[in-house]
Amino acid sequence: MKTIFSLLLLVWGMGELRAQPTAAQLVPYRQGTKWGYADRRGQLVLPLSYDEAGPFVERAAWVRQGQLYGYIDGGGHPLTPVQYERAGNFANGRATVQLGGETFDIDRNGLRLIEPASRAPEEDFLAQGDAVRQGGKVGFRFSMGSNKVVPALYDELRDLYHDGLLLVRQGTKWGVLNAEGQPTLRPEYDAIRATDANGYVYPVVEQRGRFGYLSHTGTLLTPIKYTAAEPFVAGVARVTTPDGLVGYIDETGREYFDGGGLGAIESSVQLKN
């Protein structure tokens, strides 16, 4: 009987371990002036003990306490001392930091890297087709997927290969076409900027000095309401609201900060005073 009971405890414990969120599932969450980390259900996992927090990339996130930065893992354990004047996200096993006025790269253990970072190969500008030019205008012939032809009606176009979308400009305004050549957003936006970061492509859309994001289907992921919007990194993006509140959103557009739709966030940890 004792052996069976022990096995039941072991199985239960393994289930509890599997239920724990991984670092990639944690989102920086701001409440008042303090930051912690919530899971994608809106449950606080790491306590509100930081003055600022960054996204988890390659199982590490930068955090700020006072004026200095350090790195933690998904359990909130320190990977480096809190000692840097500046700290960036990890990419390809390295992060750029500033210490004593000197800027250099470190690995996940905080060790300084001497060798320069390797550059990723650039992709073809028009990966899913060819430009069609006529009378000073440009269209597009898809060679992948639909084999549709977009008439030469535009002044500029850019290929979003990962999502099968085209960004098109008429005059000074930008819009979006899908892989069938049909408009999903008419050309009425001041700018659409696409950045591929860690496999996530959610272009930033600008209209009259406010910003939002484009979804994978070519429609708006969020309203055009933010005064600042940074590129997505590992499924989250840093935004600033019109009243100056800084926080993060996830790839569904859900906000993880006060007034961001999470309501009273549920805590699963003992908060520090």
CA-CA distance, 171 to 155, in Å (whole number)? Answer: 7
On whether the CB atoms of residues 109 and 79 are closer than 8 A, the answer is yes
More confident residue, 180 or 27: 27
Percent residues over pLDDT 70 in the chain: 80
Closest to 256 (Cα-Cα) out of 53, 24, 29? 29
Dihedral of alpha carbons 33, 38, 42, 44, sign: negative
pLDDT of 61 above 50:
yes
Q: What is the pLDDT of residue 195?
A: 73
On whether the CB atoms of residues 224 and 212 are closer than 8 A, the answer is yes
Q: Identity (one letter) of the amino acid at 37?
A: Y
Give residue-wise pLDDT tens across range 117-169.
Answer: 776 544 445 778 888 999 999 999 888 766 789 999 999 998 887 778 999 99
Closest to 81 (Cα-Cα) out of 36, 113, 111? 111
Give residue-wise pLDDT tens across range 92-112.
Answer: 999 999 999 999 999 999 999
Q: How confident is the model at residue 258 (pLDDT cuts 50, 70, 90)?
A: confident
* E strand segments, 39-162: 43-50, 52-53, 61-65, 68-72, 86-87, 95-99, 102-106, 112-113, 129-134, 137-142, 149-154, 156-160
Closest to 249 (Cα-Cα) out of 203, 268, 240? 240
Instruction: List, in order, residues 6 or more apart from 224 with CB less than 8 Å away.
Output: 189, 205, 206, 207, 208, 210, 211, 212
Q: What is the pLDDT of residue 44?
A: 94
Looking at every residue in the chain, the average pLDDT score rounds to 84
CA-CA distance, 137 to 154, in Å (whole number)? Answer: 5
Which 8-state DSSP code applies to residue 258? T
Give residue-wise pLDDT tens across range 183-224.
Answer: 999 999 999 998 765 444 799 999 999 999 999 899 999 999
Q: In the chain, what is the greatest distance between 2 CA atoms, to the nearest angstrom?
A: 85
Q: Beta strand pairing status for 43-50 and 266-267?
A: parallel
Q: What is the pLDDT of residue 10?
A: 38
Token pair, residue 205, equals 């859309």
Dihedral of alpha carbons 221, 226, 231, 233, sign: negative
